[in-house]
Amino acid sequence: VVVIIFVESTGMFLALGKVTEREVTPGMLRRGLLCDAGASFVAGFFNTFTHSSFAQNIGLVQMTGVRCRYVTVTAGALLILLSLLPKAAYLIASIPPAVLGGASIAMFGMVTATGIKILQEADIGDRRNQLLVAVSVGFGLIPVVRPEFFAQMPQWMEPITHSGIAMATVSALVLNVLFNILGGAERAVHNDACHQH
């Protein structure tokens, strides 16, 4: 589960780098993943699930144009303060679902647009990579569209088969190994043979 979260977080860090027009260095990526790992480690002591960064925040940064980390720190402090006030839950619950839905559509739409922008920089002209993206997106939609599709699979696979992100990640990793790593050498040999003829 943590490996899947790391893949998701890596994608979000790279997307945030694109939004803020700042290069994400390996050191920055390492520190970001270390924060996720540290939060997940501490979460275990409180009997909660693993933690990861939120994709919604990337949409918020793109929508608002606010790029200051101190805004995030202040928001975190406010959330901790609100968690100590049970009555605040009634205030949050009073927000109409339509308002939350509208905000979610805008935020996740921004995240999707950033993802498409990142994909444009990949070699999508290659038909193998087109197939890789198409199949991975399809696998990622299975848990959302047909949650019962993997009902007969072993229970230990549920963290993967019930998550669209996990399914898309596993699919992309496996297909990338088959198409571009194992198949890349074979393709190079084939191209050399064609050029000689």
Q: What is the pTM of this model?
A: 0.62
Are 3 and 79 in a shared domain?
yes
Are 184 and 100 in a shared domain?
no
111 token code pair: 């995240």
Are 51 and 77 in a shared domain?
yes
Are 113 and 128 in a shared domain?
no
Sign of CA dihedral 147, 149, 154, 159: negative
Task: pLDDT band for 30, please (50, 70, 90 cuts).
Answer: very high
Boundary (domain end) residue, out of 96, 119, 142: 119
Average pLDDT, rounded, for the chain:
82
Are 51 and 89 in a shared domain?
yes
Are 59 and 94 in a shared domain?
yes
Mean pLDDT of 30-49: 88
Boundary (domain end) residue, out of 119, 152, 187: 119
- Say if residue 189's pLDDT is above 60: no
Are 40 and 65 in a shared domain?
yes
Query: How confident is the model at residue 135, as a pLDDT?
Result: 92
Boundary (domain end) residue, out of 75, 102, 119: 119
Are 1 and 64 in a shared domain?
yes
77 token code pair: 């402090």
Query: How confident is the model at residue 74, as a pLDDT?
Result: 93
Are 6 and 100 in a shared domain?
yes
- Rounded CA-CA distance 131/191 in Å is 20
Q: Which domain holds residue 41?
A: 1-119
Task: pLDDT band for 193, please (50, 70, 90 cuts).
Answer: low
Query: How confident is the model at residue 163, as a pLDDT?
Result: 83
Mean pLDDT of 71-89: 87
Query: How confident is the model at residue 88, as a pLDDT?
Result: 82
- Say if residue 77's pLDDT is above 90: yes
Are 169 and 191 in a shared domain?
yes
Query: How confident is the model at residue 185, as a pLDDT?
Result: 57
Q: 194 or 33: whose pLDDT is higher?
A: 33
Mean pLDDT of 61-77: 85
Mean pLDDT of 67-95: 86
Query: Each residue of 19-28: pLDDT tens digit?
Result: 888 888 999 9
- Say if residue 158's pLDDT is above 60: yes
Please count the structural domains in the chain: 2
Query: How confident is the model at residue 197, as a pLDDT?
Result: 56
Mean pLDDT of 84-105: 85
Backbone angles phi, psi at 122, to 5 degrees: -80, 170
Are 152 and 75 in a shared domain?
no
Mean pLDDT of 128-144: 88
Are 37 and 104 in a shared domain?
yes
